[in-house]
């Protein structure tokens, strides 16, 4: 299907992206969510630093412009990414959306985990993610829910939605 167009101008519309990720808790590793270290007896097992929020965010950014997922750019089979800071994945997503002519309008997220409580850390996570995205913290939603009845008490799950807007040059 051809894009809608009017002679030489292509209609550009906002785009949304959705990302989802999960990792199991594992003792002996630090817990990092949204780029923030959170005191807890276990961290999230993953090939990189296991940051479920930043993984879901990277996938949401890439998905909004139909550019694949973080595994496309950072395969878990590549030892180069073992223990990597997940901010690298978000920065690549931002590079790709900028190249496509978009910027982040806002982001909303839901973290699903039994423990630790995210409330005391939500503001720090919000501010860190806003800094990564270069947007005001008021445009970054961080919510947390417990996984009551779904049998994922030893897992952290993140869901992220982003709205991208077209870059407007003066």
Could you say which DSSP state residue 137 is in?
G
**pTM for the whole structure:** 0.92
Please say if the pLDDT value at position 34 is more than 60: yes
Phi and psi angles of residue 94, each rounded to the nearest 5 degrees, phi first: -65, -40
Cα distance between the two ends of the chain: 31
Question: In this predicted model, what pLDDT tens digit does every residue of 111-139 receive, in sequence order?
Answer: 999 999 999 999 999 999 999 999 999 99
Question: In this predicted model, what pLDDT tens digit does every residue of 77-99 receive, in sequence order?
Answer: 888 888 889 999 999 999 999 99
Please say if the pLDDT value at position 17 is more than 50: yes
pLDDT score for 83: 83
- SS3 state of residue 73: helix
- Domain architecture of the chain: domains with CATH: 11-166 (3.30.1330.50)
Average pLDDT of the chain to the nearest whole number: 92
């Amino acid at each position: 299907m051809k894009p809608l167009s009017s002679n030489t101008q292509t209609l550009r519309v906002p785009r949304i992206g959705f990302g989802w990720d999960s990792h199991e808790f594992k003792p002996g590793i630090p817990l990092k969510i949204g780029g923030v270290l959170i005191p807890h007896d276990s961290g999230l097992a993953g090939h990189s630093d296991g940051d479920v929020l930043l993984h879901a965010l990277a996938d949401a950014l890439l998905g909004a412009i139909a550019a694949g997922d973080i595994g496309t750019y950072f395969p878990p089979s590549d030892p180069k990414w073992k223990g990597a800071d997940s901010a690298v994945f978000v920065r690549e997503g931002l590079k790709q959306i900028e190249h496509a002519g978009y910027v982040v309008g806002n982001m909303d997220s839901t973290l699903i985990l039994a423990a630790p409580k995210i409330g005391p850390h939500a503001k720090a996570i919000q501010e860190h993610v806003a800094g990564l995205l270069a947007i005001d913290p008021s445009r970054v939603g961080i919510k947390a829910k417990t996984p009551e009845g779904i049998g994922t008490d030893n897992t952290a799950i993140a869901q992220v939605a982003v709205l991208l807007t077209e870059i407007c040059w003066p």
